[in-house]
């Protein structure tokens, strides 16, 4: 009996970083287990783990599909604002600074917001523009970086 596992997960990371984590043998070993994976259609490989009673610690696998990401997916809170996780973290820090009436925490919040803004402007957005081109540009024209929309964004697909 053949069993296929299929699932979809949305990560808030540059697409190249996620693709590398899923297709580089050394990267896979860091977050999962040792392996001899190669991103090559038809490649048979193994995951190696500590043997357990009734199991030799080897999982036998084969690459049956290899499809690099090509499509920008905008779902959930990303339909309202481009950086909801950073915005939420900044809001939580600001709330804590107010609650505890802490000037050092206000300073940390300001540093967090500034460094996050610079990271988004200088790294994240240029990477997404290179990867997704006009689709990402259209998204940027409709959804603000930091100010949430009142109504959800709907993707415009050609």
The whole-number average pLDDT for the span 56-76 is 84
Find out whether 44 and 102 touch, Cβ atoms under 8 Å. no
Domain boundaries, the chain: 1-69, 76-142
Nearest to 153 by CA among 84, 86, 69, 82: 82
Q: How distant is the alpha carbon of residue 144 from its chain centre?
A: 19
Q: Which CATH number, 3.30.530.20, 3.40.220.10, 1.10.10.10, 3.40.640.10, labels domain 1-69?
A: 3.30.530.20
Q: What is the pLDDT of residues 109-157, one digit of tens each?
A: 999 999 999 999 999 999 899 888 888 999 999 999 999 999 999 876 5
Q: 44 in helix, strand or coil?
A: strand
Burial of 86 from C-beta contacts in 10 A (0-12 / 13-18 / 19+): buried
């Amino acid at each position: 009996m053949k069993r296929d596992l299929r699932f979809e997960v949305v990560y808030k990371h540059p697409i190249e970083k996620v693709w590398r984590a899923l297709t580089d043998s050394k990267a896979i070993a860091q977050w999962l287990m040792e392996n001899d994976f190669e991103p090559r259609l038809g490649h048979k490989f193994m995951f190696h783990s500590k043997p357990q009673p009734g199991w030799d610690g080897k999982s036998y696998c084969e690459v049956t599909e290899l499809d690099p990401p090509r499509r920008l997916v905008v779902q959930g809170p990303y339909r309202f604002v481009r950086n909801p996780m950073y915005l939420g973290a900044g809001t939580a820090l600001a709330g804590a600074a107010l609650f505890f009436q802490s000037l050092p925490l206000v300073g940390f919040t300001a540093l967090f917001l500034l460094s996050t803004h610079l990271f988004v402007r200088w790294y994240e957005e240029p990477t997404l523009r290179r990867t997704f081109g006009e689709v990402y540009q259209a998204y940027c024209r409709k959804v603000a970086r930091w100010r949430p929309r009142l109504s959800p964004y709907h993707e415009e697909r050609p």
